[in-house]
């Protein structure tokens, strides 16, 4: 029931959520496989950027596969296991060592919106639609999921999205911060942004992501680790390469070392 595909081209990884017949609705096995895909990305130091997308153009992710709730979310233990699997997958994306770009085409509802908001950058097609329908389904939303919504949208917009369960079209989504921008060919644009990131100094980008995550979490306990990551940047061969390339007016060739 559905699959997660991980491919790599040069320094860019692509993760595709594939159950197009069900508008890429996420089953429990897909949540688990998604986390495993990002574990593989984390271990592959050759990867410098990730694109997350749904199969086809009709949906990014339409939400959870509700048809399996009777078997996978029918007891206190099974609900806890399901929620833990979702949280692990979203956390793996949020904490990914490299920037993650959500390329959104079509429907992005519920768990799909949660996945998108776990990414660093989000781009949408003009026909994309967004919704948080939990209040229409009677589902509870935990601290981590709600925190991501509030951090990205702000408390007022998050309250409207969650309380009303309204559908936002692409321009509205861009206005309230669900997506960065809208593009006729969202996949080509996401490829272009990923390539731009991959051409930059990996250590610098990763240090910046660490700092931004700690600021978002208000986690001052990680300041020393961030300072160490910055120090590694200045001691790297990439720092010397960047200076040389600037002086020679050429594109730098970074190695991540």
Out of 156, 182, 197, a domain closes at: 197
Distance CA 9, CA 67 (A): 35
What tokens appear for 204 in the block? Answer: 């610098």
Are residues 142 and 239 located together in one domain of the fold? no
Q: Is residue 253 part of a domain?
A: no
Are residues 237 and 118 located together in one domain of the fold? no
Distance CA 220, CA 226 (A): 10
At 74 the pLDDT is 64
pLDDT, tens digit, 9 for 90 and up, residues 32-80:
999 999 999 999 999 999 999 999 999 999 988 877 776 766 677 877 8
Are residues 105 and 153 located together in one domain of the fold? yes
What tokens appear for 154 in the block? Answer: 């702000």
CB-based contact 2:64 (threshold 8 Å): no
CA terminus-to-terminus distance, the chain: 41
Please give the angle made by the CA atoms of 99, 194 and 224, to the nearest 5 degrees. Answer: 25
Q: Kindly give the confidence (pLDDT) of every residue in the chain, 257 residues in length, as a single tens digit, with 9 standing for 90 and above.
A: 799 999 999 999 999 999 999 999 999 999 999 999 999 999 999 999 999 999 999 999 998 887 777 676 667 787 788 888 999 999 999 999 999 999 999 999 999 999 999 999 999 999 999 999 988 888 778 787 888 899 999 999 999 999 999 999 999 999 999 999 999 999 999 999 999 999 999 999 999 999 998 898 888 888 999 999 999 999 999 999 999 999 999 999 999 99
Domain hosting 243: range is: 201-248
Distance CA 120, CA 179 (A): 10
Are residues 23 and 123 located together in one domain of the fold? yes
Q: Is residue 255 part of a domain?
A: no
At 245 the pLDDT is 93
Residue 192 phi, psi dihedral angles, 5° rounding: -65, -45
Distance CA 187, CA 208 (A): 25
Three-state DSSP state, 17:
strand
Are residues 151 and 224 located together in one domain of the fold? no
Residue 125's H or E segment, with its range, is: none
Q: Report how many domains make up the chain.
A: 2
The contacts of residue 234 (CB under 8 Å, 6+ apart) are none
Distance CA 10, CA 48 (A): 9
Are residues 135 and 231 located together in one domain of the fold? no
């Amino acid at each position: 029931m559905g699959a997660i595909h991980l491919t790599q081209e040069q320094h860019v990884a692509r993760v595709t959520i594939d159950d197009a017949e069900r508008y890429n609705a996420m089953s429990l096995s897909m949540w688990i496989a998604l986390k495993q895909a990002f574990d593989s990305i984390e271990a592959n130091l050759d990867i410098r950027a990730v694109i997350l997308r749904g199969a086809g153009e009709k949906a990014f992710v339409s939400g959870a596969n509700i048809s399996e709730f009777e078997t996978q979310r029918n007891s206190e233990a099974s609900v806890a296991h399901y929620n833990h699997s979702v949280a692990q997958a979203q956390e793996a994306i949020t904490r990914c060592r490299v920037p993650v770009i959500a390329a959104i085409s079509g429907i992005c509802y519920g768990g799909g919106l949660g996945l998108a908001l776990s990414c660093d950058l989000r781009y949408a097609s003009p026909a994309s639609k967004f919704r948080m329908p939990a209040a229409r389904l009677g589902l509870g939303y935990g601290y981590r999921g709600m925190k991501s919504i509030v951090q990205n949208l702000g408390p007022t917009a998050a309250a409207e999205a969650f309380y009303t369960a309204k559908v936002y079209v692409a321009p509205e989504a861009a206005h309230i911060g669900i997506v960065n921008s809208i593009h006729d060919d969202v996949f080509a644009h996401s490829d272009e942004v990923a390539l731009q990131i991959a051409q930059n100094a990996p250590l610098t980008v990763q240090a910046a992501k660490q700092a931004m995550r700690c600021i978002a979490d208000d986690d001052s306990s990680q300041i020393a680790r961030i300072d160490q990551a910055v120090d590694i940047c200045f001691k790297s061969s990439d720092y010397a390469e960047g200076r040389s390339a600037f002086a020679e007016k050429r594109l730098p060739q970074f190695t991540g070392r």
